[in-house]
Amino acid sequence: MKGGSFVALTDSVTVLPGVGPKRESALADLGITTIESLLTHFPFRYQDLRVKALNEIADQEQVTLKGIVAAPPTLARFGRKKSRLNFRLLIDQDVIPVTFFNQPWLKDSIEVEAPVMIYGRFDAARKQLNGIKILGNGKADPMASVYPSNAGIRQKTIQQLVTAAWEQYHDQIQNLIPAPIMRHYRLLDRAQMIHDMHFPKTLNAAQAARRTAKFEEFFRFQMQLQLLKRHDQTQAGTAINFDNSKLQAFIQTLPYELTDAQKRVVNEICADMKRPHRMNRLLQGDVGSGKTVVAAICMYAAITAGFQAALMAPTEILAEQHANNLQALFQDLPVNIVLLTGSTKTAARKQLLPRLADGEVNLIVGTHALIQDGVDYHKLGLVIVDEQHRFGVAQRQALRQKGDQPDVLAMTATPIPRTLAITSYGEMDISIIDELPAGRKPIATRWIKNAQIDSAVQFVLSELAAGHQAYVVTPLIEESEAVDMKNAQAIYERFSAYFAPHYQVGLLHGRMKNDEKDNVMSAFKDNQYQVLVATTVIEVGVDVKNATVMMIYDADHFGLAQLHQLRGRVGRSDQQSYCLLIADPKNKNGVDRMRVMTETNDGFVVSQKDLELRGAGDVFGKKQSGLPEFKVGDPIADITMLSVAQDEAKKLTETPHWQQDPDNASLVAYLKQAESNAYMFD
């Protein structure tokens, strides 16, 4: 293995020309730190720059035309900024008029009788081209990759870096998938896959590469699950002998009666904790079904048995909310709760860690700060991971490694069918809360066209007048964070002006610092803001009972699961709540999603419809709640492949001495190195 294969690809991106501290941090925001992560930062779409024959082009299609400039260009200017550049392009027998608006400088690059390639929008009726850019003389790449990017780094820079990384490192790329599996499923070599993902000659080549990329991603994921499972099986777990009478007494103090479903899952989980094996259980329950109190009961059970419990949430807002709720629930009990997040001050942290290590603290709530080095536990018996799909396998594992074989309960708010749960979560046991607390009124959901938006705003106003609060959500557009912020900002300004001086409006977006976010969120909770304008950062778990309206802009940009999650932020009390979907969907799928939302409130029905509506159209979509997030693959659309990858991973890990087989060396090196799970190897 030349250069130790994987080792070279773990080089930092800073070895590439032009990557200084600023770019390094912009890249890190995109999850790119190493050459490997850069080379697997795949385009999410391709701009098709292929040259088409004139009669193949649809009206208003963006295409590349190649021809000869037939006569000198003419430039007309209107005022200071506007101009029109015209010339004629000879393509075989046809003469096509080409117009460039407001790019007068292009005049000099148009040479009479020279060949030229132009990318633009075609008017089929008039047979003319509205130019967008000149691609040169025919040597340009036929397809341009479009990458996920952010405000700190431009498309073009990413393209250049990928190209540079490819040039320097392509001969270091080794196959990760064992050869027999590659042959059986006709997968491409890893180097070819990476090449064709970034620089495909045709769309077909890109698709073939994507198929291999998906399989590899799924296979790596399933290998991790299998290793985790096999590791668990070799370890004895802890029997948590909780004090049932204390538990019953605690349940009596709750301000409400548990639903039958909550009682059932509490019994399942507690029985599992009592057994001397290692619990690994998934708790599914629709938004608002009351998972938090179930978590509280189970954590208290562990505490009565002399153990510590930890609750890990994906965001600081959520961790803080959990800590506050638990504080209230446990106020009269000998439970010492602390909160540990990325923004916990050093002094507080220094003071808290020893109390955790000596067992004085018996319940800790936090973000992934809980799994950092230096956070040591006295006797950790139960780990609960909230909205667990937000965490990678590696993070879930890291928390399990803390303490002495703690039991693990993972919670998720998106009900997913059992087959999907098994392929996505390995062999976890599953508990389901399939009932909402009594007295909830179904949320009334309306679909409103943009033209009627005033009526929606009027409606929000009437709810505010009734003393209630409202969320206003704008979608994230992956291509550019800058655009998102502008959207949210513009809407925030409009609403502020409209509702002033009676109602206050807050703004929450992903680019804000954590403590800024927390401030805004707690001001909303305290009703200092009556309206909260937000990008999807509020999607997860936030609980403000007085909020009765969820207004969602461009609702057709969201998937069903996400819409359902967002809607679940209201309807948390006995007040009638409303969800207003503002959308002019551009296709049938979008219309169908709006219909499903207006027709049902049931998370299981929504998730079933989600399955039905997904498919070929969504190849590049990858955000769905309740399931692990993959970069390329989609666990719903590609469920068959995910399940095949699972079978293969299972077979491989069951093969004696598979880790010593030289054919698997790159895979083993990869798994050991990339995912901080070296401890699982013999």
Binding stretches for ligand ADP (CB under 6 A): 256, 258-259, 262, 285, 287-293, 413, 437, 541, 543, 572
- State which residue, 287 or 534, has the beta carbon closest to Mg ion: 287
Determine if 568 is a binding residue for Mg ion (CB under 5 A): no
- Long-range CB pairs of 453-459, under 8 A, 24+ apart, other chains included: 453/582, 456/551, 456/580, 456/582, 457/495, 457/498, 459/549, 459/578, 459/580
When CB distances are held under 5 to 8 angstroms depending on the partner's kind, the choice from Mg ion, ligand ADP, none that residue 174 binds is none
User: DSSP of 245-298, one letter per residue?
Assistant: HHHHHHHHHSSSPPPHHHHHHHHHHHHHHHSSS--EEEEEE-TTS-HHHHHHHH
When CB distances are held under 5 to 8 angstroms depending on the partner's kind, the choice from ligand ADP, Mg ion, none that residue 238 binds is none
When CB distances are held under 5 to 8 angstroms depending on the partner's kind, the choice from ligand ADP, Mg ion, none that residue 182 binds is none
When CB distances are held under 5 to 8 angstroms depending on the partner's kind, the choice from ligand ADP, Mg ion, none that residue 633 binds is none
- State which residue, 42 or 250, has the beta carbon closest to ligand ADP: 250
- State which residue, 414 or 535, has the beta carbon closest to ligand ADP: 414
Determine if 541 is a binding residue for Mg ion (CB under 5 A): yes
3-state class (DSSP) for residue 427: coil
Two tokens at 655?
A: 């093969």
CA-based max dimension of the chain: 93
Q: Of the candidates 70, 78, 126, 125, which has an alpha carbon nearest to the alpha carbon of residue 101?
A: 78
When CB distances are held under 5 to 8 angstroms depending on the partner's kind, the choice from ligand ADP, Mg ion, none that residue 256 binds is ligand ADP
Strand partners, 629: none
Determine if 67 is a binding residue for Mg ion (CB under 5 A): no
Whole-number minimum distance, CB 247 to ligand ADP, in Å? 16
- State which residue, 278 or 572, has the beta carbon closest to ligand ADP: 572
Whole-number minimum distance, CB 48 to Mg ion, in Å? 43
**Which alpha helices (DSSP H) does 305-413 contain, by range?**
316-329, 346-357, 393-401
Whole-number minimum distance, CB 322 to Mg ion, in Å? 8
Two tokens at 632?
A: 């390329």
When CB distances are held under 5 to 8 angstroms depending on the partner's kind, the choice from ligand ADP, Mg ion, none that residue 158 binds is none
129's enclosing H/E stretch is strand 128-136
User: DSSP of 492-545, one letter per residue?
Assistant: HHHHHHHHTTTS-EEEE-TTS-HHHHHHHHHHHHTTS-SEEEESGGGTTT---T
When CB distances are held under 5 to 8 angstroms depending on the partner's kind, the choice from Mg ion, ligand ADP, none that residue 395 binds is none
Whole-number minimum distance, CB 286 to ligand ADP, in Å? 7
Determine if the peptide bond prior to 475 is cis (ω within 30°): no
Whole-number minimum distance, CB 487 to Mg ion, in Å? 27
Count of residues interacting with Mg ion (CB under 5 A): 2
Closest-by-Cβ residue to Mg ion is 541
Two tokens at 675?
A: 């995912």
- State which residue, 347 or 438, has the beta carbon closest to ligand ADP: 438
When CB distances are held under 5 to 8 angstroms depending on the partner's kind, the choice from ligand ADP, Mg ion, none that residue 562 binds is none
- State which residue, 40 or 284, has the beta carbon closest to ligand ADP: 284
207's enclosing H/E stretch is helix 203-233
- State which residue, 178 or 541, has the beta carbon closest to Mg ion: 541
- State which residue, 545 or 588, has the beta carbon closest to ligand ADP: 545
Whole-number minimum distance, CB 313 to Mg ion, in Å? 9
Whole-number minimum distance, CB 260 to ligand ADP, in Å? 10
Whole-number minimum distance, CB 540 to Mg ion, in Å? 8
When CB distances are held under 5 to 8 angstroms depending on the partner's kind, the choice from ligand ADP, Mg ion, none that residue 281 binds is none
Whole-number minimum distance, CB 391 to Mg ion, in Å? 14
User: DSSP of 583-616, one letter per residue?
Assistant: ---SSHHHHHHHHHHHH---HHHHHHHHHHH-SG
- State which residue, 165 or 293, has the beta carbon closest to ligand ADP: 293
Q: How many CA atoms lie within 13 A of 489 on its CB side?
A: 9
Are 483 and 641 in contact by the 8 Å Cβ rule? The answer is: no
Q: Of the candidates 369, 427, 426, which has an alpha carbon nearest to the alpha carbon of residue 399?
A: 369
Closest-by-Cβ residue to ligand ADP is 290
- State which residue, 238 or 292, has the beta carbon closest to Mg ion: 292
Are 550 and 471 in contact by the 8 Å Cβ rule? The answer is: yes
84's enclosing H/E stretch is strand 82-91
Q: Which spans of this chain sit near Mg ion (rule: CB under 5 A)?
A: 291, 541
